[in-house]
Amino acid sequence: MQEVIGTDADWWRGAVIYQIYPRSYQDSTGDGVGDLRGITVRLDHIASLGADAIWISPFFTSPMKDFGYDVSDYCDVDPMFGTLSDFDALVARAQALGLRVMIDLVLSHTSDAHPWFVQSRRDRSNDKADWYVWADPKPDGTPPNNWLSIFGGSAWQWDTRREQYYLHNFLTSQPDLNLHCDAVQDALLDVARFWLARGVNGFRLDTINFYFADKYLRDNPALPKDLRNNTIAPSVNPYNHQLHLFDKNQPENHEFLRKFRAVLDPFNAAAVGEVGDAQRGLEIMAEYTSGGDKVQMCYPFEMLQPARLTAGLLQDTFARMNAVAPDAWPCWAYSNHDTVRHITRWGLTEAAAKTYTVLLMCLRGSLCLYQGEELGLPEADIAFEDLADPYGIAFWPEFKGRDGCRTPMVWQSDNANGGFSAAKPWLPVTAAHLGRSVAAQEADPTSMLTHYRRALAFRRENPVLQGGDLVDLVATGDLARFRRTQDAEMGDAEIFCAFNLGEGPAHTQLPEGSWVAIGGDLGATAAMGGEVTLGAWGFCLMRKA
């Protein structure tokens, strides 16, 4: 049983956060779509993993053109997912199990069906006329600048009522809010207060670096072709052709995040921001999380990239992060609702996937696990006619969209819907997933599910892994080695970690001192006489005696 929720303001530091995509977790009503009551029923599974918190993707009132990331009412539950009472019951059950609850706030844009936008687009003089980013056309009628939408094409949409363009960084039905307007900031902070008062322990902040656009609407410069391999959009998307200097990442965001933090602190609540930037992600994460006066955590895209996380990339990532802001606090993730599942994306065998799991548990920072990750689910192969994601439909077949990682959670193997729903699910359950259900893995001591439980327990049992420093990270070929350290005031602990992220053998030496082998139930290899020899995907974990 987990610890009872307390008043620790630093609960987030080193926490393991389990992401739930509510449409696909558990259907309790038989309509083929997951809902809040379904999540409540399945919370025991998450508690049994040893997670510290849950993050629930949007469940607010929405036309669902982007499946909840287009909000039309920030302070209510879409009937598809239930009611506010259902949400209250979910929070109560989660906290009884020792799980904190974080919810997904989408503050950079709303749905075009939101009453704010409905009013804003009426004319240029109403009370909310400046609540969204509006701009006159160029003299020739074309958009005001060259900004592009992540979902393809211009980021500007013509509106006949105002005879102006409005900004949309995503779908045309997702107009961007104008946070240069103080009234907009106040309204969004009130949204946070509403949910905190209902018992929420924190927020995942969608596209946190998109909150402000350049007030002068300057054109973005071109991105050199040799830099386009590191992106947050599929390679076929022209969004990658620009260096996004002016449509996001603006300095005014720092002051808004300070205001947001002031709302969080009285509740001992925390926020983790999604930094959607390929070129400056780590630097922006450092800016937003350092100093103790903005958000507590951010996750950049370094471990969500198509390229497999190698020992060299791991070393480079931490070196860059330490150079820009040593006190910044990352939140690492391999998979989420927007990326191809890492098992498939990196082409991992089960042995490799288990090693990457232990590596994640040993990193400095907080962690996000995406539903089904603990089962070792690969990306689902979805036929075009079954696609629901507008992003995938627009760029098919070169980019198949996000539906392959959003298919329903598999609880049982003995029915075609995996125990998710009594009805046809909104996305199909693939045969490759059925054999990896929770029920199929529950009692298997060698299963991925068992491995995740052990890995999370290992992190919890060693507080140095949650809050300590990560030092002396060195990559030699496929081998990455580092130490996690903690000063005497915190317990004076030290753990040595070595990971072979390749198929060939790897060798290294233990640091000086006396060391004791740990992590045996995870499959860790013990050092012999100070010598560490690791086979393919082997790892060594040693505690200083």
pLDDT in tens, 319-372: 999 998 888 999 999 999 999 999 999 999 999 999 999 999 999 999 999 999
CATH superfamily of 468-544: Golgi alpha-mannosidase II (2.60.40.1180)
- Say if residue 1's pLDDT is above 50: no
> DSSP code of 200?
-
CATH superfamily of 16-109+182-458: Glycosidases (3.20.20.80)
Please identify every residue annotated as catalytic: 206, 274
Identical topology for domains 16-109+182-458 and 468-544: no
Pairing of strands 366-370, 331-333: parallel
Angstrom CA distances, 465 to 15, 461, 483, 544, stand at 10, 9, 10, 14
Determine the Cα angle at 377 with ends 373 and 382, to 5°.
125
- Say if residue 94's pLDDT is above 70: yes
* Threshold 0.85, pTM exceeds: yes
User: Could you tell me the residue ranges of all domains in the chain?
Assistant: 16-109+182-458, 468-544
- Say if residue 223's pLDDT is above 60: yes
pLDDT in tens, 97-146: 999 999 999 999 999 999 999 999 999 999 999 999 999 999 999 999 99
pLDDT in tens, 462-498: 999 999 999 999 999 999 999 999 976 666 799 999 9
pLDDT of residue 2: 39
Residue pair 476/501 in contact by the 8 Å Cβ criterion? no
Three-state DSSP state, 105: strand
Amino acid at 176: D
- Which pLDDT band holds residue 81 (cuts at 50, 70, 90)? very high
- Which pLDDT band holds residue 5 (cuts at 50, 70, 90)? low
pLDDT of residue 492: 73
What is the average pLDDT across 16-43? 98
pLDDT of residue 465: 97
pLDDT of residue 137: 98
Amino acid at 376: G
Output the average pLDDT for the chain.
95
What is the average pLDDT across 273-277? 94
* Residue reference for tokens 């083929």: 32
pLDDT of residue 230: 62
C-alpha 100 chain-centroid distance: 16
Neighbouring C-beta atoms of residue 125, cutoff 10 Å? 7
Q: Which of 47, 51, 54, 39 is nearest to 1 (CA)?
A: 47
pLDDT of residue 3: 41
What is the average pLDDT across 52-67? 98
C-alpha 369 chain-centroid distance: 8
C-alpha 57 chain-centroid distance: 10
Q: What percent of the chain has a predicted confidence (pLDDT) above 70?
A: 98
Burial of 62 (0-12, 13-18, 19+ CB in 10 A): buried
What is the average pLDDT across 34-61? 98
Judged by phi (left if over 0) then psi (alpha if -120 to 50, else beta), residue 245 lies in alpha
What is the average pLDDT across 285-297? 95
